[in-house]
Every structure is written in C-alpha cells, then in structure tokens.
C-alpha cells in the first residue's frame, strides 16, 4: 500500500474527506460506492482473510439494522407484504439498507485508517497542538505491556509465598483482588520515579519534538491537492442537490439531482476519491517500471551485490528500508 | 497570580458549559430532525472533548501530575482488554471513578477519555470513540465533583453512583446511536432501541459495582497515601 508512506496529514485528510462525504449524504449510490471501496481498501491493506472475517462480523449488523427499520417504520408506499394490519414497505427496507451500508462503510474506513496510520505518526501529527495529551497516550501504550509483565511477576511471587492453592473460588477472587491492588501501588511508585527522572532530564524545557520522520515531498503535496479538489467537487455536488433522494412516501430521485448531471459529477468525484489509494499504487508501480527502464544496468548486478548498494533497487524497496 | 486564577476559573466555566451544551445540542438535533446527524454528532463529540484537553495543556502539568493519570489509564486499558471476551463487563468505569475521587475531576475526566482513546486502539476505533471518551470522562468528572462537594462520605453513595454511571454510559452511547442512525426518528423507534440496549447497560452497571466493591476502599487508601507522600495534589483543584 503506497498510501501508507505518504505524509500523515495526507492520510488523515484522505480518510476525513471520504468519511465526510459518506456521512454527509443518505443516498443508495453513494453508500454503495463507499462500501465497495471500503471493502476493497480493507482487502488491499490486510488481505482477503481478515477482510472476510470483519465482514462476517459486520454483515449480521447490516441485516439487523435493515430489519429493525423495516419493522418500526411504516411510511413507505410500495407494500411488500402484510402481517395482520401491519404492512411492510420496500421504502423502509431500502432506507434501512442504506443506513446500514453507510454505517458499515464508516466502520471499515475507520479500521483501514487505523491499519494504515501507525500510532507514532498520528501522535506526531497531534503533538503540535496537544503535546502533553499525545505524550500521555504514547506513555499509556508503553505502560500496557509493562503492567502485564508486572502482573505476572506479582502472581509468581504470591504463589511462591502463599502456595498455589486456588481450589476455592473465594481464595481465587481474593488473590486476584490483592494482585491488582499490589499492581496498582507498584505501578504508582514506579511512576513517581519516572516522573522525577523526566523532570531531571529537562521535561519542562520547551524544546521537545516528536520522533517521527515526516517530511513533505512533492508527491504529498500533489496528492493532497487531488484529495482537496475531489472532495470540494463532491461537496459542491451535494450542496447543489446532487445527493437529493426521497425515500418516503415512494422512493424517487428528484429532477434537481439529475439536472446538469449533478448526481453523476458527485458520484464520479466520489469514485475517484475512493479509488485514489489504488491510483497511487498504480503510479508507484509505473515509477518503479520507469526507473528500471532508465537504469537497466542496476538489474544486471547480481541481487546480492545490489542489496548492499544503497543506490540500487527499486524506489519502493528503497523506501521500505528503515 | 490573579490572572492565573481567573483563567482557571474561565476554564472551569467552559468545561461545565460544554457538559451542558452537548446534551442540549443533541436534543435539538433530534427535535428538529436535522439531516446528516451522523456527521454533526461526530464533530460535536470531538469538540466536546477539546476544552478539557486544552485546559489541561494550559495548566502546564508537571510530570508528577501527569503520571498518575497515565498509570490509571493504563490499568483501566489492561482491564478492558482482559475482560474483552465478556461483553459489557469492563472495569474501566470503576477505575475512572476511583481516580476522580482521589485525584479530582480533571484527572478523572482525562483518565476516562484517554482510556477510551487508548483502549480503542485495541478494541477498534470508530465514530463511537469520541463519544466513549466523553462518556467515561464525564463519569470521572462527576465522581470528582461529588467527592469535592462531600457527597461520597458514605461508600454506599459511591456504589449507587457506580451503578448509575453504568446506566449513564449506556444512555449516552444509545442516544448517540439513535440520533445518528435512526431516521425518521420516532418515539417507538427510539424506545425500541433503548429497550434493546437496556440489558447490556444493566450488565455494565452491575459489573461496575462488582468491580467497585473490592477496590474502592483499598485503592482510595493507597492512592491517598501515595498522593500525600509524594505531594501529587493537582494545583488546579
């Protein structure tokens, strides 16, 4: 995934733009496009197995949302079937489906986002505005494995001290409570030491900077401009009424949505936005291809030698080096 | 010194105003059936968290004020991860309440909010993250307020508060879901959705009390001792 190597602000804005359009409108076409590209991106980022796994969890949710809406809503005109005096309409079903697809798409976009954006890079972006908060979040992450390790140590020493007899549930619970209590006190005392050491190392001197090598390149700027352009186009399409869609009483697309091809402009811009990560992949692939063509000599060197030379190898290989 | 105090007071006013403004805003969203509620409510929740973070940044906290919050958040996060297999049973609320009681409302809010943010990196981030941050932050904040007012003299009051906080958390999360994703919003639809979530919220409330009973007394005692021993009292409180 090439998008991963872009500047964190670009990644953040890309997902913000997609989520903005997805959540801004309730339209079957937009919801469908968003869901399609969300699944595609998830597949590209984590592979087919994990994508299917998350869909396995999410699709029942879609079914529930659709059914609940069809059951509690009786505004539609096109009656599908009647039970007793209650009629169930196509419109209510359609609305539930669109709402569910939107929610699923949002969840999938968010999960791809957290796969693509490493914590450190996000914190580096946040660090300019909220330095203390972002430092605290990264400290929490650092303390989680630490806490688990301390918990194990306490457990072992408690067993050594008191014997490992936990046949009775009561002693088991009492032991767990004591363990957690010791863990808390220990972590706190350690934290005081950390705090003092931070102070001694000049924490409050105003020259801390986050450790993350992020630098703006021409490609970042170009892709950022593309994202802004496409999302502005989509938002204008929405503002002009391109996303108008009436669910009730009978679903139809108002004339103002189709006038001047507004819906098509909106949908086209959104498709381009959704497909952007793949376009960037293709662009990277073309660059690699071109660089091979330009310097064919680099391909003739034996791969063992090439691996040792910093100038050789494709652009993507070079960027993957730490 | 006076300007400092004034800015602190202003910060407090902004915090309380935010706490009141968010529910009012949500109610107005629901009442006037504003379109695009999913987006509006997400932004509203993000903005509701910001005053608390900014106030904390502005108070220029010393490492000794930061670390207790970090440790309590880490413990709550570990607790949430360990109890992840059992849905809606999580020790986060009770740890946040104890933090609010001992270290005050600001630390309570931050512990709740940061626990939600950090633990969702494991449990899954989503549009619910800012809402969970707000809900758990509010639970810690209110615990701090009630302690400073003197309502928590008797520990039964704390247990009742723990139970109520579980329901409050559920109320906030369910309202967010209903206002954002059910349309057209009707009373029957809303009641059906609240009803569907009620037993999960009840489980959360009971679990909070169950976690609170064994830890409340020893933890407040230990934490207060540590607080006194190392002079961790926060200047803002």
Q: Give B102-143 as a DSSP string.
A: HH-HHHHHHHHHHHHHHHHHHH---TTHHHHHHHHHHHHHHH
Whole-number Å distance between alpha carbons of B232 and B103 = 8
**Of the listed ranges A13-17, A90-94, A312-316, B159-163, the one predicted with least confidence:** A312-316
The region that residue A163 occupies, defined by phi over 0 for left and psi between -120 and 50 for alpha, beta otherwise, is left
On whether the CB atoms of residues A299 and A292 are closer than 8 A, the answer is yes
Is A136 in contact with B189 (Cβ distance < 8 A)? no
Q: State the pLDDT confidence band at A312, using cuts at 50, 70 and 90.
A: very low
Whole-number Å distance between alpha carbons of B77 and B113 = 11
Report the pLDDT averaged over residues B19-37.
80
- Number of structural domains found in chain A: 2
Residue A45 and residue A158 in one domain = no
**Of the listed ranges A202-206, A281-285, B45-49, the one predicted with least confidence:** A202-206
Residue A41 and residue A151 in one domain = no
Q: State the pLDDT confidence band at B116, using cuts at 50, 70 and 90.
A: very high
Residue A224 and residue A114 in one domain = yes
What is the reported pLDDT for A253? 83
Residue A91 and residue A134 in one domain = no
Which of the given ranges, A23-37, A86-100, A202-216, B80-94, has the highest pLDDT on average? A23-37
Residue A86 and residue A134 in one domain = no
Residue A6 and residue A102 in one domain = yes
Is A137 in contact with B117 (Cβ distance < 8 A)? yes
Please name which of B178, B186, B197, B6 lies closest in space to residue B88, comparing C-alpha atoms: B197
pLDDT of B47 > 80? The answer is yes
For residue B115, which residues of chain A lie inside 8 Å, CB to CB? 140
For residue A140, which residues of chain B lie inside 8 Å, CB to CB? 70, 73-74, 77, 114-115, 118
A257 inside domain: yes
A309 inside domain: no
pLDDT of A248 > 50? The answer is yes
On whether the CB atoms of residues A253 and A243 are closer than 8 A, the answer is no
Coil, strand or helix: which one is A246?
A: strand
pLDDT of A276 > 90? The answer is yes
Q: Residue B13: CA atoms inside 13 Å, Cβ hemisphere, count?
A: 6
A115 inside domain: yes
Residue A119 and residue A230 in one domain = yes
Whole-number Å distance between alpha carbons of A207 and A214 = 18
Q: Which domains does chain B have, with CATH numbers?
A: 2-230 (1.10.1760.20)
ipTM given for this complex: 0.87
For residue A110, which residues of chain B lie inside 8 Å, CB to CB? 124-127
- B171-B172-B175 Cα angle (round to 5): 80
Whole-number Å distance between alpha carbons of B73 and B119 = 9
A171 shares contact with chain B (CB less than 8 Å): no
On whether the CB atoms of residues B92 and B136 are closer than 8 A, the answer is yes
Q: State the pLDDT confidence band at B237, using cuts at 50, 70 and 90.
A: very low
A211 inside domain: no
A231 inside domain: yes
Residue in chain B lying closest to A98 (CA) = B181
Is B110 in contact with A136 (Cβ distance < 8 A)? yes
What is the reported pLDDT for B165? 95
Give per-residue pLDDT as tens, A256-273. 788 778 889 899 999 999
- A71-A77-A79 Cα angle (round to 5): 60
Task: Output the average pLDDT for chain A.
Answer: 82
The token pair that represents A117 in the structure block: 């954006």
Give per-residue pLDDT as tens, A112-142. 888 888 766 777 777 777 888 888 888 898 8
Is B67 in contact with A192 (Cβ distance < 8 A)? yes
On whether the CB atoms of residues A134 and A208 are closer than 8 A, the answer is no
For residue A24, which residues of chain B lie inside 8 Å, CB to CB? 36, 39
Q: How far is CA A151 from CA A174, A176, B78, in A?
A: 15, 10, 10
Report the pLDDT averaged over residues A171-185.
86
pLDDT: is A113 or B4 the higher one?
A113
A137 shares contact with chain B (CB less than 8 Å): yes
Report the pLDDT averaged over residues A150-158.
90
A319 inside domain: no
pLDDT of B209 > 90? The answer is yes
Residue A8 and residue A114 in one domain = yes
Whole-number Å distance between alpha carbons of B79 and B71 = 12
Q: Which residues contact A180 (CB under 8 A, 6 or more apart)?
A: A151, B75, B215
Strands, DSSP E only, in B128-232? none
Residue A17 and residue A115 in one domain = yes
pLDDT of A79 > 60? The answer is yes
Whole-number Å distance between alpha carbons of B18 and B24 = 10
Q: How far is CA B116 from CA A1, B133, B140, in A?
A: 29, 5, 12
The token pair that represents A207 in the structure block: 């020259």
pLDDT of A48 > 90? The answer is yes
Q: Give residue A248's domain range.
A: 2-123+219-297
Q: State the pLDDT confidence band at A315, using cuts at 50, 70 and 90.
A: very low
Terminal Cα distance for chain B, rounded: 15
Residue A228 and residue A104 in one domain = yes
Report the pLDDT averaged over residues A206-226.
80
In this structure, the strands spanning A86-89 and A79-83 are antiparallel
Residue A82 and residue A154 in one domain = no
A227 inside domain: yes
A29 inside domain: yes
Whole-number Å distance between alpha carbons of A211 and A194 = 19
Residue A154 and residue A265 in one domain = no
């Amino acid at each position: 995934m090439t998008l991963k190597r872009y500047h964190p602000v670009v990644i953040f804005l890309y997902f913000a733009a997609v989520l903005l359009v997805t959540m801004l409108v309730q339209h079957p076409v937009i919801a469908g496009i968003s869901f399609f590209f969300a699944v595609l991106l998830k597949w590209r980022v984590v592979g087919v197995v994990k994508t299917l796994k998350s869909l396995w969890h999410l699709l029942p949710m879609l079914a529930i949302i659709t059914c609940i809406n069809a059951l509690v809503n009786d505004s539609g005109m096109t009656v599908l079937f009647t039970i007793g005096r209650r009629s169930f309409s196509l419109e209510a079903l359609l609305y539930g489906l669109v709402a569910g697809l939107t929610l699923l798409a949002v969840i999938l976009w968010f999960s791809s986002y957290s796969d693509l954006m490493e914590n450190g890079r996000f914190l580096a972006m946040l660090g300019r505005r909220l330095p203390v908060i972002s430092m605290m979040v990264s400290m929490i992450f650092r303390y989680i494995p630490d806490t688990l390790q301390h918990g194990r140590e306490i457990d072992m020493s408690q067993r050594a001290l008191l014997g490992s007899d936990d046949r009775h549930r009561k002693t088991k619970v009492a032991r767990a409570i004591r363990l957690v209590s010791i863990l808390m006190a220990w972590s706190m005392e350690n934290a005081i030491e950390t705090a003092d050491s931070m102070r001694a190392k000049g924490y409050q001197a105003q020259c801390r900077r986050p450790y993350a090598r992020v630098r703006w390149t021409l490609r970042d700027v170009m892709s950022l401009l593309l994202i802004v352009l496409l999302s502005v186009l989509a938002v204008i399409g929405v503002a002009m009424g391109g996303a108008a869609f009436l669910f009730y009483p009978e679903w139809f697309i108002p004339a103002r949505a189709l006038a001047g091809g507004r819906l098509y402009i909106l949908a086209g811009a959104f498709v381009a936005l959704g497909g952007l990560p793949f376009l960037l992949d293709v662009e990277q692939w073309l660059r690699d291809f071109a660089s091979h063509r330009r310097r064919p000599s680099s391909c003739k060197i034996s791969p063992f030698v090439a691996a040792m030379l910093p100038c050789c190898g494709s652009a993507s290989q070079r960027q993957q080096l730490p | 010194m006076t300007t400092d105090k004034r800015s602190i007071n202003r910060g407090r006013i902004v915090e309380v105003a935010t706490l009141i403004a968010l529910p009012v805003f949500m109610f107005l969203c629901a009442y006037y059936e504003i379109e695009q509620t999913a987006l509006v409510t997400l932004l509203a929740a993000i903005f509701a968290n910001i005053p608390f973070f900014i106030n904390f940044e502005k108070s220029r906290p010393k490492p000794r004020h930061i670390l207790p919050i970090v440790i309590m958040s880490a413990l709550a996060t570990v607790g949430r991860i360990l109890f992840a297999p059992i849905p809606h049973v999580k020790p986060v609320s009770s740890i946040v309440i104890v933090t609010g009681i001992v270290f005050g409302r600001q630390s309570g809010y931050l512990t709740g909010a940061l626990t939600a943010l950090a633990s969702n990196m494991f449990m899954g981030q989503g549009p619910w993250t800012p809402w969970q941050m707000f809900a758990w932050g509010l639970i810690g904040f209110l615990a701090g307020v009630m302690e400073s007012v003197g309502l928590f003299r008797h520990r039964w009051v704390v247990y009742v508060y723990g139970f109520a906080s579980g329901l409050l958390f559920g109320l906030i999360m369910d309202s967010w879901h209903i206002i954002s994703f059910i349309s057209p919003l009707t009373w029957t639809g809303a009641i059906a959705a609240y009803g569907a979530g009620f037993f999960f919220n009840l489980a959360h409330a009971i679990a909070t009390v169950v976690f609170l009973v064994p830890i409340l007394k020893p933890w407040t005692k230990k934490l207060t001792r540590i607080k006194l021993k190392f002079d961790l009292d926060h200047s803002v409180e």
